Amino acid sequence: MTAVKAAAPARARTRDKAVRARGAGAVAAFATPLAVIAVLCLAAPLLPVPDPSVQVLSDALKPPAWLDGGDWSHPLGTDHLGRDVFARILYGGMLTFLIAIAGMLAGAIPGTLLGLISGFYRGRADTVISRFVEAQLALPFILLAIAIIAGSGRSLPGLVLVLALFGWAQYARVVRAETLSLRERPFVLGLRCAGVPTPRILLAHMLPNVAGTVLVLTTLQIGTVILAESALSFLGLGVVSPQISWGAMLADGRAHLTTAWWVAAFPGLAITVCVLLVNLLGDALRSWLDPKKRRY
Amino acid sequence: MTAEQAPALRISGLTIEAATGRGRQVLVQDVELTLARGEILGLIGESGSGKTTTVRSVLGLLDRNVSVTAGEVSVLGMRVQAPGVDESAKVRGRHVGMVFQGASASLDPLMTVGSQLREVARTHLPALSARERDERIAAVIAKMGLPDTARVLSSYPHQLSGGMRQRIAIALAVVAEPEVLITDECTSALDVTTQAEVVDLLRGLTERSDMGMVFVTHDLMLAGDICTRIAVMYAGQIVEIGPAREVIGQPRHPYTRALLAAIPRWDGGEIRAIDGTAPRITAEWTGCRFAPRCPRAEAVCRTGDAPWIELPGGGVRCHFASGEQEGLDVAVPAGSAGQ
Amino acid sequence: MLRFFAGKLLQGVATLLIAVSAAFFLARLTGDPVREILGDVASEEQVAVLSARLGLDRPILVQYLSFLGDLVTGDLGTSLRYGVGNLDLILGWMPASVELAVAAMVIAVLVGVPLGVWAALREGRLADRIASVVALTGQSIPLFWLGLMLILLFAVTLGWLPAGQAGGFDSLILPAVTLSTLPMAQIARLTRSSMSEVLGEPFMSAIQARGVARWRAVGVHALRNAALPVITIIGLQTGTLLSGAITVEFVFAWPGLGTLATQAVQMRDFSLIQALVIFGAVVFVVVNLIVDLLYGILDPRIRDGAA
């Protein structure tokens, strides 16, 4: 057993820095287009696009600009009521993003808190919370959403509530797992021995440590919530006229699929692109924050 | 040279490099090792010395970015590794067996021990009937000192103790009766008692057969216990090689001496640690690799590569090997296999 | 082993209890279902009559207990619209959903698993990255939109396949492919990461060192070790799909539980909706139990409580 001084290799540190720099680059590469799209959508009323609710029936079902019969005043064509598709995508994006963020937050906050409590206190609190988490995951989402919305009528707050129900269990489960392992770390044991009150430990010490995982999950959840909201709106249970969201546009587009494919194609494309960017961003974040856990 | 005359394992001029994100790193340089039949060769070094890379190259178990850039490895006269050549598949299991560190590191957790033994037997002993293979397996299990063969064979790895798992790992390596057995730190994860048992077991295996063994470890005294010859590696090079008794009793290389001086002694003598860390070697390195940490280093050590000096029965890589020996008060361990 | 399963069973029952209770209360606490059925123009008297008929005027706790009592005897209530037992309705409409779910999962596994293994064997290289992005795209597409686009392409433009329920094997293809996209992507990604992890385990090099052929090392040892989490996900996804893929069935007019559900919404058939939710939860919990059992059978470490 040689007593050679343990190496604290400086080379390992610089290597880490290079990996982290590359990771940060990937995060920026996906975050930027996403941010641009989000900003454009959220700023839709300020942009020089036609009013999305104005119905000009004589202009109904005009194709996109690059096809016969289209022109550049309506770059992506019009729908069955003569409304400009491009403008509707921008305005729809605004509502889609707002609802997605609201729904995600409404699920993330209680979910994370419950996960912290469940993982830290363990025992009975954990058992009860875990059963609720499993129960939530067992309930088929869309059916449950239907049940609630059909029973209480359509409303935006109702929609956000339903979306929150969709997501909180995921947060609780993931945060609980992280908390369970964090709990055994020496620094936490030290805090408990020192008599620091538990709520303070949870909020000031545990929370920052799970923040990375929560951030990754949040990013990915935005994608799933967007998909969930569009599914609900498509079925007529989410956003309906006169409000515009991408899912609602798809519901309209379905009826005219054979004659005016663009009314359905572009909103769906918008959803796919945004959710894909969100997923790529989430993966890049995960790699950046912990290279060992690359992709899952 | 026919297979009968060829040494069990011959490594000559072996150089292995890794292509990393920061240039090419030389992991192993100009290694010369010969293993005769029935001999036990110890390969000593700290982590990063290149000993594991050297032995893994015999079986072609190098990482994707690591390759042999010079030299040759041959088993029983058959060339197994050379730049651009990898024929290690020919010898894996059949002529060369390997035992790894860590009891769980060798066994598929989802298969019974018996299934895994039968799998290896089927691969290398296709000429035998199933019953003959089973008899062979039972014999190997018995040789491992494991009672209750039937229970062991039907057990899953997690149902056995660490020591038993390590014996199974050895059994898997020798069931096809290879001519070379390489053990890579295979006792490091065991407690001292179990370690002694496993070492006895390994010694017994080589004594009763023609099998040669390369015993890789960082523990110099343990090597002295079991090996006929010892080679010491540092920063990818062999710095000293010779009969075990001599390497331990009269070490010539400053690194070997420092290793011995750093071993805790039961008589309360002083432990002297070696300052600094092993260097990362690239093609630009000049001079002796141990020079930065060597108490005897002089100007010539930093400018000129340390020469290999042949000695009776071995050699040493140092500018000053032919000079005097500093009296180092290290008792040769009783039971050191000095042949 | 028996203790392991009994424990899981108990957990499942507890979960189910909470799930159905949640379904019960969530549907009731927001707004008045009776008004939803009758609309705003209903008079107080009409509301009272309907409430009494549906038993909705009793105290909530009494309703809850009666609800639980019915569940235990397998009574999921009576449909407001059809006037027959909900369970019978559900079982009647179920075969079409099962057919679609099985077809989708078969496609998902047959494509997803090899794709994942292929990507894992080429880890870090270009093929792996491309496969990863493709899989990620599969998880990003809204399924109902994909269905619409596929209909547009294959049914309308090319005329190769029927657009909806026209009977026969042909009409199963488009909906099954659409539905398989999401599970396929998840299975591919999980297989890849699980395989990749197993391939890096020390025992894999030991197996190679023993001279075991590469195809056997990867196909038998690695695959079996990597399969466990993938099997779990396959089970879970099947469970989800069995309760009806609502949007996809809607797009393809597929006569399964999903269509039954959307019709129930349009008819304001709360009883049926609630029954569907409960049914979905039961299916999910049962499938979970089966998966747990399977896990115990396949992984000896779990059986012995060692893992």
Residue B36 above 50 pLDDT? yes
How far is B33 from B323, CA to CA, in rounded Å?
A: 25
In a domain, C101, yes or no: yes
Of C279, C69, C272, C67, the C-alpha closest to A151 is: C272
Residue A12 above 60 pLDDT? no
Cβ-defined contact of C203 to B108 (cutoff 8 Å): yes
Residues of B in contact with A7 (CB under 8 A): 277-278
How far is B82 from C150, CA to CA, in rounded Å?
A: 55
> Average pLDDT of A55-78?
77
ipTM of this complex? 0.81
Predicted local distance difference test score (pLDDT) of residue A7: 40
Say which amino acid occupies A83: R
For residue B274, give the chain A residue with the closest CA: A4
Residue A14 above 60 pLDDT? no
Of A107, A93, A104, A115, the C-alpha closest to A40 is: A93
CB A79 within 8 A of CB A263: yes
Q: How far is A177 from chain B (nearest CA, A)?
A: 25
pLDDT in tens, C258-279: 888 888 887 777 788 888 888 8
Domain B1-36+47-94+217-339 has CATH 3.40.50.300: yes
Predicted local distance difference test score (pLDDT) of residue B304: 80
User: What CATH number corresponds to the domain at position C122?
Assistant: 1.10.3720.10
In a domain, C64, yes or no: no
CB C77 within 8 A of CB C274: yes
Map residue C64 onto helix, strand or coil. Answer: helix
How far is B294 from B307, CA to CA, in rounded Å?
A: 16
Predicted local distance difference test score (pLDDT) of residue A161: 85
Of B193, B153, B160, the C-alpha closest to B175 is: B153
In a domain, C124, yes or no: yes
In this structure, of A194-203, A284-293, B191-200, the range with the lowest mean pLDDT score is A284-293
CA angle C233, C239, C241 (to 5 degrees): 100
pLDDT in tens, A149-179: 776 677 788 888 888 888 898 899 888 988 8
pLDDT band at B229 (very low <50, low <70, confident <90, very high): very high
Residues of C in contact with B119 (CB under 8 A): 212, 216
Residues of A in contact with C28 (CB under 8 A): 151
**Domains recognised in chain A with CATH numbers:** 9-293 (1.10.3720.10)
Cβ-defined contact of C210 to B123 (cutoff 8 Å): yes
Cβ-defined contact of B46 to A18 (cutoff 8 Å): no
Q: How far is B77 from chain A (nearest CA, A)?
A: 35
**Full-model pTM:** 0.81
Cβ-defined contact of C28 to A235 (cutoff 8 Å): no
In a domain, C91, yes or no: no
Residue B93 above 80 pLDDT? yes
Cβ-defined contact of B22 to A2 (cutoff 8 Å): no
| Chains linked to B by 3 or more Cβ pairs within 8 Å | A, C
Cβ-defined contact of A279 to C189 (cutoff 8 Å): no
Interface of A with B in 7-66 (CB under 8 A): 7, 9, 11, 15, 18
CB B43 within 8 A of CB B50: no
Nearest to C261 among A146, A258, A264 (CB): A146
In a domain, C303, yes or no: no
Q: Give me the DSSP letters along A123-149.
A: HHHHHHHHHHHHHHHHS-HHHHHHHHH
Domain span including residue C188: 96-270
Predicted local distance difference test score (pLDDT) of residue A5: 37
Map residue B35 onto helix, strand or coil. Answer: strand
Residue with the larger pLDDT of the pair C173 and B103: C173
Reading the block at residue C138, the tokens are: 């599969």
For residue A262, give the chain C residue with the closest CA: C149
pLDDT in tens, B306-315: 888 888 888 8
Domain count, chain C: 1
In this structure, of A18-22, B310-314, B329-333, C166-170, the range with the lowest mean pLDDT score is B329-333
In a domain, C259, yes or no: yes
> Average pLDDT of C45-54?
74
Residues of B in contact with C128 (CB under 8 A): none
Percent of chain A with pLDDT over 90: 7
| Chains linked to C by 3 or more Cβ pairs within 8 Å | A, B
Q: How far is A138 from chain C (nearest CA, A)?
A: 5
In a domain, C284, yes or no: no
Rg over alpha carbons for chain C, rounded to the nearest Å, is 24
